[in-house]
Structure 1
Amino acid sequence: MSKFTNLINNSEVPVLVDFYADWCQPCHMIAPTIKSVKAKLGDRLTVIKINSDKNQQAMMKYQVRSIPTLILFHKGKVLWRNSGVMPEHELMKVIERYA
C-alpha cells in the first residue's frame, strides 16, 4: 500500500488532497489559501499535494479531470471535492464541518 493510500485510509484527522501541476496558474492562486487554512486548523487537518503530471494513477482513480482539484478524505471516504479556485472562507467553512 502506498504512503498516500495509507494516509487517506488511516488518518485520525481529515486529509485534504490538493491535485495540482507546476504549470497551472489557478493552482498557484489557491496554494496560499490552502496554507492559511492548514495554519488555522493545525493538527485537525492533514494536507497532501499531489502533482498531477507525476501521479496519473491517482488522477484516474479519483477521476480528477481538471486542476486544481481538492478532495477531502477521512478514513478512506471522500467527504467533499471541488475543482477550481475558491475563497478561503468557503474552504474553511467546508473543512470545519469535518475537522
Structure 2
Amino acid sequence: MPKESIKDKLSKSQDAILVDFYADWCGPCQTMDPIISEVLKELDGKIKLLKLNVDKYPQLAQQFAVRSIPHYALFKRGKILWRKGGIITKRDLEKALKGFT
C-alpha cells in the first residue's frame, strides 16, 4: 500500500482505526495478534484495524514517532486519540478502546 494511501485512509476515515505497528520477526507483536483480534471482534467492528509493518514503511513509523514495537495508535479523522507501546493486556486494551467506540 503506498504511503499516501495509508495517510489518506487515516485522515479521511470517519471510523476509528487502530494502527498496529509491527514486524514479522517481532515475538511480542505475534503474541498480541490474537488479543487485538479478540478485542476488536468484541467491539463489533466499531474500530477498524490497520497493520503496518515497520520494515516495509519505516518513514511512516518514524513520522508517528514509533521507537519500539509493538506499538498501537488509535486514529479518527487523522488525529491520534490514544497510543501505547509494548505488550498490553486484553483487559487494558478493551478498557482503552471502549472509550472511543
Q: TM-score range by the shorter chain?
A: over 0.9
Query: Residues 54-99 of structure 1, C-alpha deviation per residue, up to 9 Å, x if partnerless?
Result: 1011011101010000001111111111110111111011111111
SS at match of 2:39: helix
Partner of 1:43: 45
Q: Which runs of 4+ in 1 moved over 3 A?
A: none
Computed over aligned residues only, the root mean square deviation of the Cα atoms, in angstroms, reads 1.1
Q: Alignment partner for residue 76 of structure 2, among 74, 80, 90?
A: 74
Listed as ranges, the gaps of 5+ residues in structure 1 are none
TM-score by length of 2: 0.92
Q: Is the aligned partner of 1:12 residue 2:14?
A: yes
Query: Residues 25-67 of structure 1, C-alpha deviation per residue, up to 9 Å, x if partnerless?
Result: 0001111111101111133111000001010110111010100
TM-score by length of 1: 0.94
Count of residues in correspondence between the two structures: 99
Provide the identity percentage.
36
Q: Alignment partner for residue 92 of structure 2, among 70, 90, 93?
A: 90
Listed as ranges, the gaps of 5+ residues in structure 2 are none
Amino acid at match of 1:52: V
SS at match of 1:66: coil
